[in-house]
């Protein structure tokens, strides 16, 4: 019986992967909302690719990478930079080019491993918006995922203009978070809170385990107050903002029983996620003054004596 179940599971897996109704698009991961991409990047730039260096640069793709990758390096002229990139005029951006040729065999969609996606591909004269991190070993920056770059489509330039206009608005809120958290517009307050939560609660790549430290008490109180006053009835704000509903943001705080929080239980003493909104708002109202939102901080590795 156990063998039959395993065979059935394997057969279903094959059908899911190889069936004619499966498309490569179905395997794609939805991009994070623009505010979260902005908040988790160290450098955000809008500009134009002025050139691509001819020589490839060998650099590790991840810590302890023995084979290394060969990066192309693009020179991007910055028309507008945000945060740490505000005073820069040009920046070097490395990316791993997609191999030439079709790795698939036979007709039908190409099924690639879900865990690996190509990085942003850049070409000369492209107008781009890039969400960047410094490469941990090389002297250029990288867009870590396929959605960490927005490239102007000649056939649909208005979409690029729309998204960069949104980014500029979000960047303005993030530049003055106190004003954003106290804005008259409820959407602006929630977007600001979501960016701060994404910034604080997203660990950056590090050789050591990050630790959690409390943020400024006043800002923490404003974030929690914003979540408490948000519209919890709207748990589906749209496909581009699905991670930014109040419940998802609340759960990202990483609360535990030590903080007085656990998933509420129903009459049968079973965890019931439908009860979260009411219980979470009650927790927020009760703890906004005393609890401090925590941020991830990478501990510096001590030099060996």
pLDDT value of residue 208: 75
Cα distance between residue 10 and residue 191, in whole Å: 43
Are residues 122 and 34 both part of a single domain? yes
pLDDT value of residue 234: 67
Q: Is the pLDDT of residue 302 over 70?
A: no
pLDDT value of residue 111: 37
**Position 112 confidence tier, pLDDT thresholds 50, 70, 90:** very low
| C-alpha angle 211-216-220 in degrees, rounded to nearest 5 | 95
Q: How far is CA 198 from each of CA 166, 171, 261, rounded to the nearest angstrom?
A: 17, 14, 20
Of 254, 205, 227, 195, nearest in space to 40 by CA: 195
pLDDT value of residue 85: 87
Cα distance between residue 80 and residue 38, in whole Å: 14
| Least confident interval from 32-36, 133-137, 206-210 | 206-210
Are residues 127 and 194 both part of a single domain? no
Of 184, 251, 190, 256, nearest in space to 223 by CA: 190
Are residues 166 and 141 both part of a single domain? yes
* 64 Rama sector, left if φ>0, alpha if ψ -120 to 50, beta otherwise: left
Domain of residue 162: give its range. 30-98+118-172
Residues in the chain: 305
Of 248, 246, 198, nearest in space to 36 by CA: 198
Residues 15-32, mean pLDDT to the nearest whole number: 47
Q: Is the pLDDT of residue 19 over 80?
A: no
Q: Using one digit for the tens of pLDDT, what is the confidence trace for 167-199?
A: 999 999 999 999 999 999 999 999 999 999 999
Are residues 134 and 181 both part of a single domain? no
The strand ranges marked E within 3-59 are 43-52, 57-59
Cα distance between residue 224 and residue 215, in whole Å: 12
Secondary structure class of 158 (helix, strand, coil): helix
Looking at per-residue pLDDT, the higher value among 224 and 4 belongs to 224
Q: Does residue 303 lie within any of the structural domains?
A: no
Are residues 34 and 168 both part of a single domain? yes
Residues 22-43, mean pLDDT to the nearest whole number: 73
Q: Is the pLDDT of residue 222 over 50?
A: yes
Are residues 161 and 57 both part of a single domain? yes
Are residues 291 and 188 both part of a single domain? yes
pLDDT value of residue 237: 57
- Domain end among 156, 172, 188: 172
Q: Looking at the whole model, is its pTM more than 0.85?
A: no
Residues 157-162, mean pLDDT to the nearest whole number: 92
Are residues 198 and 124 both part of a single domain? no
pLDDT value of residue 233: 85
Q: Does residue 270 lie within any of the structural domains?
A: yes
DSSP string, 68-136: -EEEEEEEEEEEEEEETTTT-SEEEEEE-PPPSS----SSS-----TT--------TT-EEEEEEEE-S
Number of domains in the chain: 2
Are residues 205 and 166 both part of a single domain? no
Q: Does residue 3 lie within any of the structural domains?
A: no
**Position 241 confidence tier, pLDDT thresholds 50, 70, 90:** low
Looking at per-residue pLDDT, the higher value among 304 and 146 belongs to 146
Query: Is residue 181 within 8 Å of residue 219, measured between CB atoms?
Result: yes
Are residues 153 and 244 both part of a single domain? no
Are residues 184 and 234 both part of a single domain? yes
Q: How far is CA 29 from each of CA 20, 119, 123, 147, rounded to the nearest angstrom?
A: 20, 14, 24, 10
pLDDT value of residue 27: 45
Mapping DSSP onto H, E and C, the string for 177-217 reads: HHHHHCCCCHHHHHHHHHHHHHHHCCCCCCCCCCEEEECCH
Q: Does residue 9 lie within any of the structural domains?
A: no
Q: Using one digit for the tens of pLDDT, what is the confidence trace for 243-301?
A: 688 999 999 999 999 999 999 999 999 999 999 999 999 999 999 999 999 999 986 65
Q: Using one digit for the tens of pLDDT, what is the confidence trace for 117-141?
A: 567 999 999 999 999 999 988 999 9
Q: Does residue 12 lie within any of the structural domains?
A: no
Q: Does residue 105 lie within any of the structural domains?
A: no
Q: Does residue 160 lie within any of the structural domains?
A: yes
Q: What is the CATH number of the domain that holds 63?
A: 2.40.50.120
Q: Does residue 247 lie within any of the structural domains?
A: yes
Q: Using one digit for the tens of pLDDT, what is the confidence trace for 76-105?
A: 999 999 988 888 999 999 999 987 554 444
Q: Is the pLDDT of residue 17 over 90?
A: no
Q: Which two tokens stand for residue 63?
A: 């810590």
Q: What percent of the chain has pLDDT over 90?
A: 64
Are residues 208 and 164 both part of a single domain? no
């Amino acid at each position: 019986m156990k063998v039959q179940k395993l065979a059935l599971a394997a057969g279903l897996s094959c059908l899911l992967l190889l069936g004619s109704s499966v498309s490569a698009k179905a395997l794609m991961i939805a991009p994070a909302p623009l505010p979260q991409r902005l908040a988790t990047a160290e450098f955000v730039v809008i500009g134009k690719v002025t050139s691509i260096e001819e020589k490839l640069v060998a650099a590790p793709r991840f810590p302890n990478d023995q084979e290394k990758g060969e990066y192309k390096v693009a020179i991007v002229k910055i028309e507008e930079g945000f945060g740490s990139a505000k005073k820069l005029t040009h920046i070097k951006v490395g990316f791993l080019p997609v191999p030439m040729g079709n790795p698939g065999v036979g007709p039908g969609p190409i099924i690639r491993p879900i865990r690996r996606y190509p990085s942003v591909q850049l070409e000369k004269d492209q107008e781009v918006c890039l969400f960047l991190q410094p490469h941990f070993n090389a002297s250029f920056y990288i867009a870590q995922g396929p959605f960490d770059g927005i490239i102007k489509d000649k056939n649909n330039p208005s979409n690029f203009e729309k998204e960069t206009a949104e980014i500029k608005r979000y960047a303005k809120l993030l530049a003055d978070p106190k004003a954003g958290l106290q804005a008259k517009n409820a959407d602006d307050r929630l977007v600001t809170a979501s960016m701060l939560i994404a910034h604080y609660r997203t660990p950056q790549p590090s050789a050591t385990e990050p630790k959690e430290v409390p943020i400024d008490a006043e800002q923490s109180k404003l974030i929690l107050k914003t979540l408490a006053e948000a519209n919890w009835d709207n748990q589906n704000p749209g496909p581009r903002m699905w991670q930014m509903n109040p419940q998802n943001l609340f759960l990202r705080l990483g609360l535990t029983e030590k903080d007085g929080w656990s998933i509420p239980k129903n009459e049968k003493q079973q965890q019931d996620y439908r009860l979260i909104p009411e219980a979470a708002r009650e927790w927020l109202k009760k703890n906004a003054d005393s609890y401090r939102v925590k941020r991830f901080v990478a501990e510096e590795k001590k030099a060996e004596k």
